[in-house]
Amino acid sequence: MKRDVLIIGAGGAGLTAAIAAKEEGADVLVLTKEYPTRSQTCMAQGGINAALGNVSEDSVEAHIADTLKSAQGQADEEAVRFMCMQAPTAISWLDGIGTPFSRTADAKVAQRRLGGASAPRACYAQDYTGLKILHTLYDKALSLGVEMQAEKYLLDLLKSEDGTVCGAKILDIRTGEVEHYFAKSVVLASGGYSRVYGKFSTNSKTSTGDGIAAAKRAGAKLLDMEFVQFHPTGLKNSSILVSEAARGEGGHVINSKGERFTDELLPRDMLSRAIHAEMQKGEDVFIDIRHLGEEVIDELLPQERKLAKLYENVDPVYEPIPIKPVAHYTMGGIEVDNKSQTSLKGLFACGECANHKVHGANRLGGNSLLEIVVFGKEAGKNAALFAKEADLLAPATEQKHPLEELERYTNEINFYEVRDELAALFYEKVGIVRHHSELAEVQNRLREIESLLPKMGLSDTNKIYNTNKIEFLEFCNMLDVAKSVVEGALARKSSCGAHYLSEEA
Ligand SMILES: Cc1cc2nc3c(=O)[nH]c(=O)nc-3n(C[C@H](O)[C@H](O)[C@H](O)COP(=O)(O)OP(=O)(O)OC[C@H]3O[C@@H](n4cnc5c(N)ncnc54)[C@H](O)[C@@H]3O)c2cc1C
């Protein structure tokens, strides 16, 4: 199959890139391992940042300053400036294609204040912001005739003799067949890797860093993989997110004695550490929104109420919600320049799998949805422009993928158990507070696990719809990504944002 631009991933970044590439005149194909209407993007609740000043005074300069402050010196000022300056246009574009944003009394796009922001800046659609954006992007992509194929799993990137990325090797989940897709340029928009932390993460099962692992195998540079953001308010038992909107609307963070012990609007890294420290003292921690009243909760935080009732058996109108900090967002990813071009010719990346150097060591709430729209557009446009000047190239001899080895693997060790062990180990030792000695322990365990992989083969050898196979491939990718996280964490000798050392090494 041949295309101008091949896009892997149909979250907000992939769909925005597809729309931009199509509008640039490219023949575009989007592949996704799930369905285009599902991804982390549809789980986003709190909002998308833009300094519109719709509810109180704000400025692009303030948005830039807040983002740089939160990034703790690890962001690129030019990239941040570009993103924040583009933000009002991004909102007006989303509004124009039909995103049903909540409105103020005078019909402007409504905005709320999220942690680390100096003004109410996050534009929202109740607490379903990502869902509404994703489905609007999907409609727009369909109306432009963008072709999308679901249940296609990226195995590896294909490279030509001169190292240019010229397509992808794909496993068709429905048939079990391996297929080759060729394209003049490829955009990775395959999301982050928070599921390395398994059930200690707000993300769905699919955030397994597949695109990042494939890019790494192909030789692309990764950047700042050690920066993993912990969200302060995951539900205690399920890790499902209580949106920052709950604090933005005035929720209190309290301990078992009912005392507020921190500033709720601190950036996420600081608030997660404050909650972690309180929990270390043996306290349970809660977010309390009772004082907002039922009417406000049902109008502005309907999803939070539903989730708390369903998964924590707590009605937040009457009781505080038990919480704990959990892995939420991965700032690290494939290094890209200001044209979303990776270190490999022909390969572009956007969204959470990419590192555009706009979040640094700690992302601000509301800036990820913004990034996927602003840089999704850049990636799609630049991939299309690249394709205009490029030829379709033939792939050189392929590198071996774990899938080819799989037939020889025995099934002596249950990889699901090892995956869960790894998640717990990461939560404990590569989490909110880190020690170099513990990071080294995790590194050793990762090496052991890798050497045992040939004993962790499949229990289901069917070809069609083999979820056991997909989960094993995702596990291999998470192992690969986990190695980069620990390597990065060991290399960083002092605390910075989400990478916090209990003692400086
Ligand atoms: C619960 C929750 C709430 C959030 N709230 C907010 C918020 O309020 N504001 C904000 O700014 N950010 C928020 N975020 C973060 C934000 O939603 C994500 O960072 C962003 O949506 C990521 O978009 P993406 O397109 O890069 O990736 P995703 O939306 O994760 O999409 C990735 C796509 O890649 C596909 N894919 C992955 N691997 C493969 C493979 N091997 N083969 C083929 N396809 C593959 C997936 O199927 C999917 O289509 C939230 C995140 C979560 C989890």
| Domain endpoint, select from 347, 362, 389 | 389
Statement to judge: residues 158 and 33 lie in one domain = yes
The per-residue pLDDT of the chain, averaged, comes to: 95
Q: Please name the amino acid found at residue 296.
A: V
| Domain endpoint, select from 291, 326, 361 | 326
The band of 403, judged by pLDDT with boundaries at 50, 70 and 90, is: confident
The residue written with tokens 């704000």 in the block is 58
Strand ranges of the sheet holding 111-112, from the earlier edge strand across to the other edge: 48-49, 122-123, 111-112
Greater confidence, 118 or 401?
Answer: 118
Predicted confidence at residue 1, as pLDDT, reads 67
Q: Is the CB of 46 under 6 A from ligand 1?
A: yes
Report helix angle 129-143 to 12-23, nearest 10.
30
Domains in the chain: how many in total? 3
Predicted confidence at residue 399, as pLDDT, reads 67
Predicted confidence at residue 369, as pLDDT, reads 98
Q: Is the CB of 497 under 6 A from ligand 1?
A: no
Ligand 1 centre distance from Cα of residue 14 (Å):
10
Q: Please name the amino acid found at residue 278.
A: E
Tens digit of pLDDT for each residue in 41-84? 999 988 999 999 999 999 999 999 999 999 999 999 999 999 99
Positive or negative, the CA dihedral 232, 237, 242, 247 is negative
Statement to judge: residues 309 and 383 lie in one domain = no
Closest-CA residue, ligand 1 atom 31, reads 11
- Does 503 fall in a domain? no
Q: Is the CB of 380 under 6 A from ligand 1?
A: no
Probe ligand 1: pick from 194, 369, 375, 469, max atoms within 8 Å of CB? 369
- 204: closest CA among 73, 59, 34? 34
Is 0.85 topped by the overall pTM?
yes
Which 8-state DSSP code applies to residue 41? G
Tens digit of pLDDT for each residue in 422-471? 999 999 999 999 999 999 999 999 999 999 999 999 999 899 999 999 99
pLDDT of residue 361 exceeding 90, the answer is yes
Q: Is the CB of 476 under 6 A from ligand 1?
A: no
195 is catalytic: no
Predicted confidence at residue 437, as pLDDT, reads 96
In angstroms, rounded to a whole number, what is the distance separating the alpha carbons of residues 191 and 207? 6
The band of 138, judged by pLDDT with boundaries at 50, 70 and 90, is: very high
Can you tell me which atom of ligand 1 is nearest the CA of 366? 11
Which 8-state DSSP code applies to residue 363? P
Statement to judge: residues 420 and 458 lie in one domain = yes
Closest-CA residue, ligand 1 atom 9, reads 366
- Does 407 fall in a domain? yes
- Does 501 fall in a domain? no
254-273 CB burial, b ≥16 within 10 A, e <16: bbeeeeeebebbbbbbbbbb
pLDDT of residue 314 exceeding 70, the answer is yes
Tens digit of pLDDT for each residue in 330-359? 999 999 999 999 999 999 999 999 999 999
Domain span at residue 199 reads: 2-226+331-389
340's enclosing H/E stretch is none
The band of 244, judged by pLDDT with boundaries at 50, 70 and 90, is: confident
Identified catalytic residue from 121, 247, 268, 492: 268
Ligand 1 centre distance from Cα of residue 319 (Å):
31
Predicted confidence at residue 188, as pLDDT, reads 98
pLDDT of residue 397 exceeding 90, the answer is no
**163's torsion region: left (phi>0), alpha (psi -120 to 50) or beta?**
left
Predicted confidence at residue 300, as pLDDT, reads 87
Statement to judge: residues 312 and 426 lie in one domain = no
| Domain endpoint, select from 326, 357, 381 | 326
Q: Is the CB of 171 under 6 A from ligand 1?
A: no
Q: Is the CB of 314 under 6 A from ligand 1?
A: no
